[in-house]
Amino acid sequence: MALVPCQVLRAAILLSYCSILCNYKAIDMPAHQTYGGSWKFLTFIDLVIQAVFFGICVLTDLSSLLTRGNDSQEQERQLKKLISLRDWMMAVLAFPVGVFVVTMFWSIYIYDRELVYPKLLDNFIPAWLNHGMHTTVLPFVLIEMRTTHHQYPSRSCGLAAVCTFAVGYILWVCWIHHVTGVWVYPLLEHLSPGVKIIFFAAVTVIINVFYLVGEILNNYIWDTQK
């Protein structure tokens, strides 16, 4: 019976992300019309990651229920692949990227919101949507970690994947600046080239630290010896 509430919870979280994405895309904001559109913002990329991840979680739950009591080895094999994909996404993308977005956004916002979320955006994005993009991501991913055990990849493979994502996004941000002459985030306008390199390196280190935090937290919650 414990599985049913988890299924409902994941489905509810998936629907909330779909609602947030639909409302965000419906906003007639100038930034959406420029090069890269919404995909230049890590917040939007993270929302897509979370929606895809919870979509896979819901699909895994449905497949598990449908194959329960079924002796088909092929269906069992497909279910294991789905579970492996779910666990990999949780370890490499959903947790580290989600926690990074929440912590970095609110840390910079508290220091000087104009560096990351100019007050002008309040005219386009309502407060509830802002929290949906930058706040609820953290409790949602923690709830998922607490309710379901996720098998993490080897540490070297996991860190390599996280680094690939971080470096890929940094190169994407630099490319957008190369094409448009404008940095995606106002914060970068105030940094010298040397400081930008240090900042990008620090960002890569931080997201890797969050990967390790997720691995440690997952092992602590699901320690089989306890």
Per-residue pLDDT of the chain (226 residues; tens, 9 = 90+): 454 578 889 999 999 999 999 999 888 888 788 898 999 999 999 999 999 999 999 999 988 887 776 767 777 888 899 999 999 999 999 999 999 999 999 999 999 998 888 898 888 889 999 999 999 999 999 999 999 999 999 999 999 999 999 999 999 999 999 999 999 998 999 899 999 999 999 999 999 999 999 999 999 998 854 5
Q: Which two tokens stand for residue 110?
A: 């508290």
Structure tokens, 67: 């194959």
Tell me the pTM. Answer: 0.92
| Residue among 129, 135, 151, 144 at smallest CA distance from 57 | 144
Residues whose CB is less than 8 angstroms from the CB of residue 215 and which lie 6 or more positions away in sequence, other chains included: 91, 152, 155, 158
- What's residue 111's pLDDT? 92
Burial class (CB in 10 A: 0-12, 13-18, 19+), 108: middle
Residue 23's SS3 state is helix
